[in-house]
Structure 1
Amino acid sequence: MTTALPLPARRLLPALLATLSFCAAAQTPPPPAAAQALYPLIAQRSQAIEQKVIAWRRDIHAHPELGNQEKRTAALVAAHLRQLGFEVREGVAVTGLVATLQGGKPGPVVALRADMDALPVKEQVDLPFASKARAVWDGKEVDVMHACGHDGHVAILMGVAEVLASMKAQLPGTVKLLFQPAEEKLPNGEIGGSRRMLAEGAFDAPRPEVVFGLHLMSGGNTGTIGYKAGPILAGSDAFKVDVKGRQTHGSQPWSGIDPIVLASQIVLGFQTIQSRQVNVTKEPSVLSVGTINGGTRYNIIPDEVKMSGTLRTYDEDMRKFIMQRMGETASLIAQSGGGQAHVHFEPDGYAPTVNDAALTEKMAPSLRRVPGARAETVPKSTGGEDFSFFAQAVPGLFVFIGATPPGQDAAKAEPNHSPRFFVDEASLLVGVRTLSHLTVDYMAMAGR
């Protein structure tokens, strides 16, 4: 509850806030000397390769590839990394790459991740390098577009690789780069992406201490870096519900079992799980039914109804509890009407993306030191990311890079996954500098 301040205090408030801001800045720890010595090199070399990064992004944007089909992209990345002196392992999780560069000084292993796959979306942005690609997805030919910024993520990490390789002798640690396929999921619930990379040894020999990742977001303006400790992206789970009844004439429902009525009651029952059975003050959740299909004719009560939807959560225990209660709720409601219902969760669901609190606090000053950018805390998003599994394996930090041109209202920008999604290419330099600063700062702090 907010209480109004008396007038004298209100007059003093601006000066008080300025004093607190100055004190907070004064308490920000200085960068380690070993990292500070590398800052001019990061600034100069990232600026020098900016046009190369933009060119890589445009090339990848013009040639998008769907999950587990990123062969051209992976070949482009592998050739670049080998030229820089990285040890490269190809074919991880079908098309993924794991590349390692050992610095000239001893120190920790830091992992950096970029996702490579595009989406089955037809591009509607008028660009000279707009996608005209088509591919087969789940047995159907579809248009393909980088509608979520992954082309930029790949180009950014290629740029970071060049910046860090150029200072290899001064680098106090080892860099492990993860170029990941299939972040946008695969058809028919197939498990891929980060989980498959981990299963195939992406974090083995050497094992990283931490992992950093970023995402270009149209919801922020270029020059902003958004971060927060704790959950930053939701767990994302797709579900299906099969409701079984018994077909009969619509004029005499008592002669059968109506699965349409049962399905309607199940939808309402699902909503009471969130509103009455979980502690809403802990974390929010979203449970949405997106499709309901049943019946073929207006006067026939069908045998069954099929539904599907999505569950978004920020807490793993809450995620498991809601899943359990959805199965129980659907089954018992159906039984009450003489029918049956089964809830099936696709096995490729994503856990919540949780930024390690201690790591976030430790690295927040690094984000604030990125030249040409402004770091700010942001609210959590209901989007999902399989970076979550990397961050479960080791402490992780995932940040948002604003990608809408300055002066434009980012709140009105076309969102990620839109056919009109647009990236201001000036944001790529911010991304290169962000991951470079996080890497050298963490390495140097470990050797303090």
Structure 2
Amino acid sequence: MTAADPLPDRIAARVAELEAQVIAWRRGLHQHPELGNREFRTAALVAEHLRALGFDEVKTGVAHTGVVGLLKGGRPGGVVALRADMDGLPVSEEVDLPFASKARAVWNGEEVGVMHACGHDCHVAILMGVASVLAGLRADISGSVKFIFQPAEEMPPEGEEGGAELMIKEGALQNPTPGAIFGLHVTSRLPAGVIGYRPGPTMASSDKLRITVHGRQTHGAAPWLGVDPIVTSAQIVLGLQTIVSRNLDLNREPAVVTIGAIKGGVRENIIPDSVEMRGTIRSFDEGMRDAIHERVTELAEGISGAARASCRVCITKNYPVTVNDPVLTEQMVPTLTRVASTGPRPMGIEVVPKVTGAEDFSFFQRLIPGLFFFVGVTPPDVDPAQADSNHSPRFFADERGLEVGVRALANLAVDYLASLQG
């Protein structure tokens, strides 16, 4: 893509025309959030939009509620994919907005409030906007663009498959197979409109940890007559902290081992039979990830054995490390820089620190080169360091970041396809 090429200017003009519509889509989605594998209204809206634009293919019901659309350009060429996640979170909204969510649903057997507390409403609206932009330019596009609207990024309900991994199993990256995939995430860690990226490991792997310690129940007044799983669990929690601080070479990559829930006992004067701990493991290197798993098991079993208790350690791998392909990232940074430095509110671009949150976009990146980047949505009068984070019931998205997201994904798609022409 050369400076004389009119496509970037035409994209910018079309995005300016569409900005109000993208905001309206986002507000409608925000007011009607849906949980993972239950995004029926959202999927229907997306599919209807793609069909109205004259997409060559629109597949629905992929990985339960996913939508995959294919837009063929007017010129022969390669294939690129763009992805947006659609699901909300079991969070009750506390933001005072005219379009705030009042939705309720059942999640893993419990009635909960539902909110787009992670900004996936923004992602869907942005990609719908990109679909409108590129459909209007299809005669000048060399190749095809695959649009992937994905359910259940925030994990499917217990006992169900879902998300990117299931979309891949059901053929989202086949017929045709893209040469690269791009995705974005809005974030409260950056001012509205600022683009953030990072080559290589960018977001952490995510694993569920459950440790059940079995002792022997007894009266609290006579602990010597039993085996106390509460004290043993406390020693395990403290011991787990040494895995990161003493067993890992943190010059390579950071890591996190966190226990977030402990359940055991029913009253103050009974030492229970068992205690269950639940937590999460985060890392940026697959080798370190396996080493942490091994060390967690060794430590928990060793401490339990020394206390005459027993334990069962269960570690479930959720998402791999989100790794931005270094070559693809270097190739596309000029596109992101151009987008960030132009438009109605140019805000700039920066390399961001590693993020210990996880993303199942990583499953796509395991199969084809991918670039996952961030767009800030914190108002200019708020310090991003003090802004309520994604997943908070008070998460707020400044909608001025939406048009930046549309321009970024649209330009990445056409620039990548143009680069394949030599």
Report the TM range for the smaller structure's normalisation.
Answer: over 0.9
Q: What amino acid does structure 2 have at the position aligned with 1:282?
A: R
Shift of 1:396: 0.7
Rg bigger for which structure? 1
Which of 215, 227, 233 aligns to 1:257? It is: 227
Q: Is the 8 A contact 1:32 1:444 kept in 2?
A: no
Instruction: Give the match for residue 93 of structure 2.
Output: 123
- Match status 1:39 vs 2:13: no
- Tell me the CA shift for residue 189 of structure 1: 5.8
Whole-angstrom CA distance in 2 between matches of 1:198 and 1:264: 41
SS in 2 for 1:48: helix
- SS in structure 1 of the partner of residue 167 of structure 2: helix
Moved more, 138-147 or 246-255: 246-255
Which of residues 85, 91, 99 in structure 1 aligns to 2:69?
Answer: 99
The residue type equivalent to 1:39 in the other structure is: P
Report the number of matched residues: 416
Q: Which of 348, 351, 354 is the equivalent residue of 1:380?
A: 354
**2:185 counterpart residue number:** 215
Q: State the partner residue of 2:154.
A: 184
For 2:21, the equivalent position in structure 1 comes to: 52
Aligned to 1:356: 325
- SS of the residue 1:265 aligns to: helix
Q: What does 1:89-238 correspond to in 2, within 5 Å?
A: 89-188=59-158, 190-238=160-208
Question: Please, which runs of 5 or more residues in structure 1 have no aligned partner?
Answer: 1-30
TM-fit CA distance, 1:103? 0.9
How far residue 108 of structure 1 moved from its aligned partner, in angstroms, is 1.6
**Residues 1:293 and 1:140: Cα distance change in structure 2 (over 3 Å):** closer
Aligned to 2:393: 419
Query: Are 2:327 and 1:327 aligned?
Result: no
3-state SS of paired residue (1:393) = coil
The amino acid of 1:302's aligned partner reads P
* Bigger helix fraction: 1
Match of 1:284 in 2: 254
1:301 counterpart = 2:276: no
- Cα distance change, pair 220–189 in 1 and its aligned pair in 2 (3 A): farther
Q: 2:268, 2:19 → 1: CA distance?
A: 61
CA contact (8 A) 1:32 1:441 kept: no
Distance 1:231 1:263 in 2: 33
The alignment's TM-score, normalised by the length of structure 1, stands at 0.90
* Residue matched to 1:71: 40
Alpha-carbon RMSD: 1.4
Indicate the SS of the match to 2:319.
coil
Distance, in Å, in 1 between the alignment partners of 2:394 and 2:375 is: 18
- Distance in 2 separating the partners of 1:223 and 1:377: 14
Contact 2:36 2:157 in 1 (8 A): no
2:313, 2:281 → 1: CA distance?
12
The aligned counterpart of 1:274 is 244
The AA in structure 2 aligned to 1:351 is: P
Counterpart Cα distance in 1 of 2:226 and 2:102 = 52
Where does 1:307-346 land on structure 2 (aligned, <5 Å)? 307-346=277-316
Confirm or deny that 1:368 pairs with 2:368: no
Amino acid at match of 1:337: A
| Cα deviation digits, residues 305-347 of structure 1 (max 9, x gap) | 1111111111111111111221122112212222111111235
Deviation at 1:33, TM superposition (A): 6.5
Report how far residue 255 of structure 1 moved.
Answer: 2.3
Amino acid aligned to 1:72? R
Q: Is the 8 A contact 2:165 2:363 kept in 1?
A: yes
Instruction: Report how far residue 252 of structure 1 moved.
Output: 3.0
Alpha-carbon contact 2:117-2:395 (below 8 Å) kept: yes
Paired AA for residue 342 in structure 1: R
Q: Note closer, same or farther for the CA distance 1:307–1:189 as it changes in structure 2 (3 Å cut).
A: farther
Deviation at 1:428, TM superposition (A): 0.7
Instruction: Give the TM-score of the pair, scaled to structure 2.
Output: 0.96
Q: Look up the equivalent residue of 2:375 and give its one-letter code.
A: I
- In 1, the alpha carbon distance for the partners of 2:23 and 2:249 equals 46
Q: How far apart are 1:187 and its partner, in Å?
A: 2.9
| Distance across 2 between alignment mates of 1:413 and 1:59 | 24
Q: In 2, Cα distance between the equivalents of 1:213 and 1:199?
A: 19
Q: CA deviation at 1:254?
A: 2.8
Unaligned runs of 5+ in 2: none
Shift of 1:268: 2.0
Percent identity among equivalent residues? 58
Secondary structure of 1:360 counterpart? helix
Per-residue Cα deviation, 1:124-168 (whole angstroms, up to 9, x for no partner): 212111111111111222111111111110000000011111111
Is 1:406 aligned to 2:380, yes or no? Answer: yes
Query: What do the CA deviations read for 1:17-47 (whole angstroms, capped 9, x no partner)?
Result: xxxxxxxxxxxxxx4479x331111011111
Note the alpha carbon deviations across 1:266-297, whole angstroms, 9 max, x for none: 11221222122221110000101111222223
